[in-house]
Amino acid sequence: MCVPMGTPTSVLLGLVRACHPGPTLAVTALVTALAAGSGRDLAGCLLVAAAVLAGQLSVGWSNDAVDAGRDRALGRTDKPAVSGLVPVRALWVAAGVALVACVPLSLASGVAAGGFHLLGVAAAWAYNLGVKATVFSWVPYVIGFGQFPVFVSLGLPGQPWPAWWSVLAGALLGVGAHLANVLPDIDGDRKTGVHGLPQRLGPRRTRVLTAVFLVAAVAVLWWPAVVVALALALAPRYARGDGAPFLSAVAVAALAVALLLVRGTG
Tell which residue, 197, 215, 218, has the closest CA to residue 206.
197
| Amino acid in position 14 | G
What pLDDT does 226 receive? 94
220: left (phi over 0), alpha (psi -120 to 50) or beta: alpha
Rounded-to-integer distance, Cα 113 and Cα 119, Å: 10
pLDDT (0 to 100) of residue 34: 95
Q: Which long-range contacts (CB under 8 A, 24 or more apart) does 211-214 make?
A: 211/248, 211/249, 211/252, 213/172, 213/173, 213/175, 213/176, 213/179, 214/172, 214/173, 214/176, 214/180, 214/249, 214/252, 214/253, 214/256
pLDDT for 242 equals 58
The pLDDT assigned to 38 comes to: 92
State how far Cα 230 lies from the chain centre.
23
Give the end-to-end CA distance of the chain in Å, rounded to a whole number.
49
Query: What pLDDT was estimated at residue 48?
Result: 98
What is the radius of gyration, based on Cα positions, of the chain?
Answer: 19
Could you report the average pLDDT of every consecutive run of 10 residues in the chain (266 residues)?
Answer: 63 94 94 94 96 98 95 90 92 98 98 98 98 97 97 96 96 95 90 94 93 95 94 74 73 92 87
Residues 6+ apart with CB under 8 A from 166: 149, 153, 260, 263, 264, 265, 266
pLDDT at residue 1, as a whole number: 43
pLDDT confidence of residue 184 = 87
C-alpha span between 218 and 227 (Å, rounded): 10
Residues 9, 93: Cα–Cα separation, whole Å:
17
Distance from CA of residue 72 to its chain's centroid?
Answer: 23
Please tell me the distance from the alpha carbon of residue 235 to that of residue 6, in angstroms, as a whole number. Answer: 45
Residue type, 102: C
pLDDT score recorded for residue 3: 47
